[in-house]
Amino acid sequence: MRLSTRNQLSGSVTEVALGSVMATVKVRLDGGDQIVTASITKEAAEDLALEPGKPVTVLVKSTEVMLGVD
C-alpha cells in the first residue's frame, strides 16, 4: 500500500490497553527507546489484531506541531 503521509515511523507494539470504546497503543520506535502512544478505537485495535511484539508503522498527519521547554 502506498500512502501520502510522509511521517511514517517503524516500530513494534509494546502495550495495548482496551477500554470499552477506545484503545491506547504504545509503540517502541525502531532503533531506540522512544515510545509513541496512539489512541484509536477498540474496534480498530481488534481489527488490526494489535498485540505486544507486532510490527507496525506509525503514521503521523498533523496540521500543528508543538514544543515545550522548562
CA dist., res. 50 & res. 48, Å (int) = 5
What pLDDT does residue 65 have? Answer: 78
Q: Give 6's DSSP letter.
A: -
pLDDT by 10s per residue, the chain, length 70: 788 888 899 999 999 999 999 999 999 999 999 999 999 999 999 999 999 999 999 999 887 878 899 9
Contact 37, 24 (CB under 8 A): yes
What pLDDT does residue 44 have? Answer: 98
Domains and CATH numbers, the chain: 7-60 (2.40.50.100)
CA dist., res. 61 & res. 30, Å (int) = 19
What pLDDT does residue 63 have? Answer: 77
Alpha-carbon distance values, 53 to 11, 36, 40, 41 (Å): 9, 14, 18, 20
